[in-house]
Amino acid sequence: MPIATQFEYVKPADMDEALQVLAMYKEKARPLAGGTDLIVHLKEGFAKPEIVLDVKALKELSGLSLKNGVLRVGALVTFAELLESAAVKKNFPDLWEAAGTVASTGVRNRATLAGNICSAVPSADSAPPLLAHDAVVRLRSQAGERLVSIHEWFTGPKRTALGPDELVVSVEMAVPEKKFGACYMKLSRYDGEDLAQGGVEAAVFTDHNYRVAFCALGPVPARALKTESYLKGKKVTEQTVKQAGELLAGEISPITDIRSSREYRTHMARIMLGRALETAVSRLSGRGPKYGEGNIC
């Protein structure tokens, strides 16, 4: 399908020029990195920019590094690169696991983590691990740099805290001091590429602190704080899983859409939480399925 919208294409070689274009055109300019969402939106007429701003030549946006205990994922880093990173797999195996469930190889070779959170669909697979580890998003505009917590990032379906004159530079998160086991459990209609009907991450730390986050079970991906505080200090048993599931069901607000019904999502959220908790606990103790296995419901 040809793209009906007519736009200019610019690919600045440096950050100043890119920020100047954004400052001038604001919402009328759309940054392009992997393009796996933007090109679809251009074809379907959801996006009608005057300028497509290709940011792939900006070196400030590239690079995946682990320094002083902080993982920095440059805005141009693709899901394929995340999956190939030994540092990601070792320090954030849950992010690695979630990245592996995003679309398919041919899409992951271009799609970026930053693009995933900028598209901000409720089903963003990368969001639960970012939420679980309190990631921050580094933004840049002509006014300077600012950091936004991932907890304040998602402001509504397909809406974020990103200003129209800002670019995402990187997504960063600190390696937890305590050892943890985690699991991103995804509900798919089939084993292969599919958008999540629901996703639940559970992470358990050696001191019995828990993190629970979800996607596709509400208007925005979020943490389930009541569920977490109930679990704090407890062991994962049949009884605690049941009670935690009840609490999670109260914290989510799923809708009925083409992929499944509200009732089914609510029912499966409880089951996914149970499986994610049990898997996280077994992984923490060195047993359990490898990351990337046994995490599709």
Partner 1 sequence: MKKHPISFKLNGERVSIEVEPSDVLIDVLRDRLGIKSPKVGCDRGDCGTCTIIMDGRTVRSCLALAVEADGAELVTLEGANTSRKWTRKLQEKFHRKNAFQCGFCAPGIILSATELLEKNPKAGKHEIKEAIAGNLCRCTGYEPIVEAIEETVKGK
Give the footprint of partner 1 on this chain (CB under 8 A): 1-9, 32, 35-36, 39-40, 42-43, 52, 54, 56, 80, 103-107, 109-110, 191-193
- Give the residue with the Cβ less far from partner 1, 104 or 206: 104
Which contacts (CB < 8 Å, 24+ apart) does range 68-71 have?
69/174, 69/175, 70/172, 70/173, 70/174, 70/175, 71/172, 71/173, 71/174, 71/175
Q: How far is the CB of 7 from partner 1 (least distance, A)?
A: 6
Minimum Å gap between C-beta 152 and partner 1 is 30
CB of 11 to partner 1, least distance (A): 8
Nearer residue to partner 1 within complex by CB, 22 or 131: 22
Residue 281 CB, shortest distance to partner 1, in Å, is: 24
Tokens of 113: 């983590």
DSSP state of 237: -
Q: Considering beta carbons, is residue 20 or 109 the nearer one to partner 1? A: 109
CB of 36 to partner 1, least distance (A): 5
Nearest residue (CB) to partner 1, 106 versus 233: 106
| CB of residue 179 to partner 1, shortest distance in Å | 28
Contacts of 45 (CB under 8 A, 6+ apart): 4, 5
Q: Please, which residues have CB within 8 angstroms of residue 83's CB and are 6 or more apart in sequence?
A: 89, 96, 99, 100, 108
| Residue 134 or 193 having the CB closest to partner 1 | 193
For partner 1, the closer of residues 79 and 154 by Cβ is 79
Min dist. Cβ of residue 296 to partner 1 (A): 11
Task: Quote the CA–CA distance of 140 and 66 in Å, as a whole number.
Answer: 21
Residues 6+ apart with CB under 8 A from 59: none
Question: Which of 258, 129, 117, 145 minimizes the C-alpha distance to 186?
Answer: 129
For residue 127, which of 267, 10, 224 has the smallest C-alpha distance?
224
**CA-to-CA separations, 104 to 101, 107, 108, 193, in angstroms, rounded:** 8, 5, 6, 6
What Å distances lie between residue 144 and 19, 20, 70, CA to CA? 10, 12, 22
Nearer to partner 1 (CB atom), residue 52 or residue 183: 52
